[in-house]
Amino acid sequence: MLVLAFLLHVLYVEEGRLRETVASMHMEQPRNENDWRNAVRQSRSSIVSDPDHAVPMNHPQEVTQQTFVQDPLFEKIHTQIDSEDEATRCKRYGFTHTPGTKRRRVFFGALVAADTMDTIRIHATEAYDVYHTVALLESNTTFKNTPRNLRFEPGSELYKFTTAGVFGKETQVFVDFWLDEAPDAISMTREYIQRESILYRWKQQGMRPDDIGVVGDIDEVFSRDFLRASQVCNIPQFQETDCLKPKIVALTNIYESSPECRSQKNWFHPDMMSGACLDGVGDPTGRIVPVRNYHRTRGKRDDASGNRGKYRDEHVSLGRYPLWSIQDFRTQEGNTRQQTWADVRWGVAYHFHNFFYDFSTVRHKYVTYGHGDASKATLPLSKVAGDLDIVVRCVHDLPNSASPKMPARVERPFYEIEGPKPIYFSNETYRRIRHDHMFERLFWLMKNNSDRFTMILAKFCHCRRKSKLRNKRHCIIIINSLFTFLAWNYRLGKCF
């Protein structure tokens, strides 16, 4: 009994020490995007927004002074990519090039919600001064038709950051707002209707049939090399006049929460299309207007108007298919998945999935977005989605799941992975700090005992970090945590 009493005393002493350590680390944790930016100082790029230079405009817009300064490291990479011989670039993707071809203008559009400055900066660095127009849209309701606060409203830090030149000196950025209640539109239909505003903004900006539209989320971006290729190469999809299969779908590499956590699977967004096949931009002559699922004029096409590539006989006989709305652009078939470098593993686009600052935001996403599920609010993180299981295993340096149903990551460091990589990730300091931040957020995310035991045991068995000092500190905390877990869950009466 004396031995047991002594052990219990040690356990509670260790528990107290652990709590002090946790408290001190929580005090150091960044609580919002500004704290994160100041704490990690991950980017050598800088931005200074002066609210005195903001001038209200219609629809509602605000002019922010162009004060963003691009990192010289990224400028050098941009120059290397942009100065390559165009014929060589086109050949890489299986296209041809006609000398003297005028560059096509590129218009980008996306819905925004919980997107972070990190994600915006990563995307903008890839496409810096490539886009003619960036049209972003935010809604004051979720796809589940529940209220949400606007984060990009004029005057906010996110608004000033996004519109102050981060996308380039020549790129015009607009943030519009969807405030239509439309209570009878729910889930994905609500998303489809919201995306219509993107095309409205493109048309306001003078989009022409020979321009290019790119639709995605802000965490999806074509590689800079492919964007440059799309501007000058002879691309078959851009020569389509019938608009049956006019879009290019990316073969997209996925990074899960950290540059070091690359998934083995590929994504299939963003999407690219010539303006000649976009509704309101292309020529509607001889085309039948498709029937849609929301009041017949908005939303998704019906099953005989091009949904899943199916058309009525009259569409086929005309040989000129309906022009595409933005929701068609994002969701419908009629595409070719583009490969690159003769190796499909390397992709032509990137998806920065779940690049949030904390996992409460991640949970909120999986509960409220278009495919949301309320039950995921209380599940252990690795059970919320297979993509999050990748994050847990990657950050804790655990092997992939043995289950063939679970997604797997590329079990190699970032610098050992072949092929094109996001330009922003060439900043080694950012990669390290981002990965360490996700480790700390996961380690202290112990919402229930099963999570606590999983995290503790994982790090205890796989505590392999580059810094020896960090090894020692983490392993001491882990051992303390393990003892604390036993003290909490196996009381004296349960052990005997």
Taking each helix axis as running N to C, give the angle between helix 428-443 and helix 386-395, from 0 to 180 degrees, rounded to the nearest 10: 110
Residue 305 gets which letter from DSSP?
B
What per-residue confidence (pLDDT) applies to 470?
46
Of residues 95 and 25, the one with the higher pLDDT is 95
Band of residue 334 on the pLDDT scale cut at 50, 70, 90: low
**What is the predicted pLDDT for the residue at 487?**
44
Residue 378 has pLDDT above 90, yes or no: no
pLDDT in tens, 270-316: 999 999 999 999 999 988 888 787 776 777 777 766 776 777 777 77
Q: What is the pLDDT at residue 452?
A: 47
Q: What is the DSSP string of 233-291?
A: EE-GGGG-SS-SS-EEEE-EEEEESSTT-EEEEEE---EEEEGGGBTTTS--TT-PPPP
pLDDT for 362 equals 83
Residue 387 near residue 263, CB atoms below 8 Å:
yes
Cα distances (angstroms) measured from residue 446 to each of 11, 376, 459 = 19, 16, 13
Q: 449 vs 26, 354, 388, 444, 446, CA distance in Å? A: 19, 24, 18, 12, 7
Fill in the amino acid letter for 363.
Answer: R
**To which residue do tokens 């059970």 refer?**
383
Is residue 446's pLDDT more than 70?
A: no
At 361, list the tokens: 């935001």
The segment with the largest mean pLDDT, out of 3-12, 140-149, 206-215, 338-347, is 206-215
Residue spans of the domains in the chain: they are 1-29+444-496, 51-284+323-349
- Distances 486 to 15, 16, 463 between C-alpha atoms, Å: 10, 14, 20
Give residue 262's pLDDT: 94
Beta strands in 148-250 (DSSP E): 172-178, 212-215, 220-222, 233-234, 247-250
Q: What is the DSSP string of 319-358?
A: T-PPPB-HHHHHH---EEEE--TT-TTS-SEEEEET--SS
Grouping H, G, I as helix, E, B as strand and the rest as coil, residue 405 is coil
Give the span between the Cα atoms of 334 and 307, in whole angstroms: 10
Average pLDDT of the residues of the chain = 76
Question: Is residue 244 within 8 Å of residue 334, measured between CB atoms?
Answer: yes
In sign, the C-alpha dihedral spanning 263, 109, 247, 106 is negative
What percent of the chain is modeled with pLDDT above 90?
Answer: 39
Q: Is the confidence at residue 127, as pLDDT, over 50?
A: yes
Q: Is residue 353 scored above 90 in pLDDT?
A: yes
Confidence at residue 50, expressed as pLDDT on a 0 to 100 scale? 28
Reduce the DSSP state of residue 159 to 3 states and report it.
Answer: helix
Q: Which helix (H) or strand (E) holds 138?
A: strand 131-139
Tell me the per-residue pLDDT of 200-219, one tens digit each, with 9 for 90 and over.
999 999 999 999 999 999 99
pLDDT at 336: 65
At residue 478, does pLDDT exceed 90? no
Residue 327's pLDDT band, with cuts at 50, 70 and 90, is confident
Contact indicator for 234, 96 with CB cutoff of 8 Å: yes
The angle subtended at Cα 257 by Cα 136 and Cα 114, nearest 5°, is 30
pLDDT of the residue at 83: 97
Between the CA of residue 277 and those of 97, 143, 211, 322, what are the distances in Å?
Answer: 22, 27, 10, 8
Which residues are within 8 A (CB) of 25 and not within 5 positions of it... i.e. 6 or more apart?
Answer: 440, 444
Bigger pLDDT: 225 vs 308: 225
* Residue of 108, 46, 96, 91 lying closest to 71 (CA atoms): 46
- 144 or 427: which leads in pLDDT: 427
Q: What is the pLDDT of residue 289?
A: 85
DSSP 490: S
> What's the pLDDT at 445?
63
| Adjacent-strand bridge partners of 311 | 305
Least confident of 8-17, 68-77, 156-165, 170-179: 8-17
pLDDT at 159: 96
Residue range 229-273, pLDDT digits in tens: 999 999 999 988 888 889 898 889 999 999 999 999 888 899 999
Helix (H) or strand (E) holding 292: strand 292-294
The per-residue pLDDT for range 397-420, each reduced to its tens digit, is 889 988 888 889 999 889 888 888
d(CA 122, CA 192): 26
User: How would you write 42-96 as a 3-class SS string?
Assistant: CCCCECCCCHHHCEEECCCEEECCCCCECCHHHHHHHHHHHCCCHHHHHHHCCCE
396: nearest Cα among 442, 453, 365, 349: 442
Give the tens place of pLDDT for each residue, 83-117. Answer: 999 999 999 898 999 999 999 999 999 999 989 99
Instruction: Report how far apart, in Å, the C-alpha atoms of 476 and of each of 401, 436, 459, 471, 479 are.
Output: 27, 17, 11, 8, 5
Q: Is pLDDT of 60 > 80?
A: no
pLDDT at residue 24 in the model: 32
Percent of the chain with pLDDT over 70: 70
pLDDT at 339: 57
Q: What is the pLDDT of residues 70-88, one digit of tens each?
A: 899 999 999 999 999 999 9
* Highest mean pLDDT, choosing among 16-25, 123-132, 134-143, 454-463: 123-132
How far apart are alpha carbons 349 and 339 in whole angstroms? 10
Among 82, 62, 43, 24, CA closest to 176: 62
Give residue 464's pLDDT. 43
